[in-house]
Amino acid sequence: MTLAEPLLHAWPSEVPSHLPNVKTDVAQAKLTPNHSTDSDNSEDVATGKGVPDTKRMTGAEATFTLVSFLLNVAMFTLPFCFVRVGWLAAFLIMLTGSICMLAALMLQEALYALVGHGVRCPDYSDLATAALGPAYASLAQLVALAELAIYGSNSVINLGNAAMAVCPLSRNSRILAGCMLCLLLSAFSDRAFAYINLISSAASIAILGLLLYGGWQASEWAMPDTIPDTSTDFWHYIPSCFAMMLFTAGTHPLICGVMHTTRSYMELRRAILSAWTIYTAVTVLCAGLAYQMYGSSLQPFAMDNIGRDLQLHLQEGGAKLKVAAGVWMAIKVLVGIVPITRPLANAYARKMSWLGQDEASGPLLMLPVLLSLAAAAVFFAERIEALESMAGCTVTSFNVLLLPAISYLLICKPSGASYCCAVSFVVLGAVLALSPMAYVIWRTASGFEDITRSFHSMAEAMSALVRPWLAAES
């Protein structure tokens, strides 16, 4: 029996003691008296009402949707992880891919458990309410919005980098111009962007193809050593690389929407298993080949290597490759950034009673959000590695590890290997979440030591200056 099997077949044998309170704490519109757990039923509480199968996604369509989420702009920083930790990065990508896949299976089980108890279209706030109580629903919603904000800032940074290949503007001007273009696109509904989701995935493949094509055309390859030099800061970079990979593959809050529009439990299960397998294979293959070609000359943003040699000099025909990559990246970001950032505008506008529950934000309400994302993008443009590492340790660890695993433990009550796996995910998520705070405390303590050492050096210098004067006076 594989580790995934108990996760796939676990089902709550009894309702947790506080789960009935969900029926009063969760919005009543989400509840139904139908407690059937047959996910193939035409009256499926996972979708809220009876929906013909012909209008819902098959397993293959759900797989493609999840893969399009996983091939996001953050994946273009993963080749740089090979520069940090060598070929160990390939193992870390496979490890994080497996962890995210198992966490997604736990999330599916917990969501379907809520469906079985009558919660219509459950989401992260419903999981938090059922597992931990209503007080944690707001926390889950806040963390989910924080992750969207980080993805939005990352997208704006990449949009600015894409514009650099097309038009000769300063970085801040490119970022601001990209945000203004996004503002214009926010006049369209999210449904319009859903129809061109295929273009986003094609753009990811095209950019990776241009990166590898440029390396193939180079006069020489780096051919780095299989075993990295562990005498450097090799070990120090492992946690940050792991967090970056978790940030890229941790798209779990989006699984709720996919579940509501997928035909059955089994088809969603197959989609989860297939999507993270495809993501892992594509990432390891493309990032590994790029490292084999470019070696230590790989940049934190892989697009900066397109059309350049190992010394980062522009190759013959490299300018055309950069323009092509910039156009594809702009297309990828523009078709995805509005659906990612609109929930942020909806949240604050509804809080201020400027927007109804069934209404979506337009350009005017989107303006403060996009300007805030532009400011964050300007600050993190040269610190994209730090941004993704910090996000992977904090908000992503909560959304990918802590909440799915805790909900699975408290709602589904697993046993055996499933229980041990879920507990290990909780421990890993807690360690990742606390590590930035521990690092800040360590750096602060190191700073105090440096300050004390500086004062000591200043005192010795002043003493050296005063000592001859005192000797002359005596």
Q: Can you list the domains of the chain with their CATH numbers?
A: 17-31+44-473 (1.20.1740.10)
Mean predicted confidence (pLDDT) in 357-365: 75
Residues 6+ apart with CB under 8 A from 40: 263, 264, 265
Task: Measure the CA–CA gap between 207 and 164, rounded to whole angstroms.
Answer: 15
CA-to-CA dists, residue 271 to 72, 147, 251, 279, 397, angstroms = 18, 23, 14, 12, 22
What DSSP element (H or E) covers 301? none
More confident site: 146 or 56? 146
**Tens digit of each residue's pLDDT (9 = 90 or more) over 274-283:** 999 999 999 9
**pLDDT given for residue 8 in this prediction:** 42
**Tens digit of each residue's pLDDT (9 = 90 or more) over 427-442:** 998 888 777 656 555 5
Mean predicted confidence (pLDDT) in 149-153: 84
Mean predicted confidence (pLDDT) in 203-223: 84
| Buried/exposed code over 22-37 (b: 16+ C-beta within 10 A; e: otherwise) | beebbeeebbeeeeee
**pLDDT given for residue 28 in this prediction:** 37
Task: Measure the CA–CA gap between 223 and 12, rounded to whole angstroms.
Answer: 52
C-alpha radius of gyration, the chain, whole number = 25
Q: What is this structure's pTM?
A: 0.75
φ and ψ at residue 262, rounded to 5 degrees? -100, 145
**Tens digit of each residue's pLDDT (9 = 90 or more) over 47-83:** 444 445 556 778 888 888 888 888 888 888 899 999 8
Mean predicted confidence (pLDDT) in 27-37: 37
Q: Give the position of tokens 């750096």.
A: 443
Instruction: Indicate whether 93 pLDDT > 70.
Output: yes
Confidence band of 126 (pLDDT split at 50, 70, 90): confident
Task: Measure the CA–CA gap between 292 and 222, rounded to whole angstroms.
Answer: 6
Q: Give the position of tokens 């505008």.
A: 345
**pLDDT given for residue 99 in this prediction:** 95
**pLDDT given for residue 2 in this prediction:** 37
**pLDDT given for residue 288 in this prediction:** 92
Mean predicted confidence (pLDDT) in 305-324: 85
Share of the chain above pLDDT 70, in %: 74
406's tokens: 């805790």
Task: Measure the CA–CA gap between 302 and 288, rounded to whole angstroms.
Answer: 12
Residues 6+ apart with CB under 8 A from 93: 78, 81, 245, 280, 283, 284, 287
φ and ψ at residue 119, rounded to 5 degrees? -90, 120
**pLDDT given for residue 146 in this prediction:** 84
380's tokens: 């993190």
**pLDDT given for residue 309 in this prediction:** 84
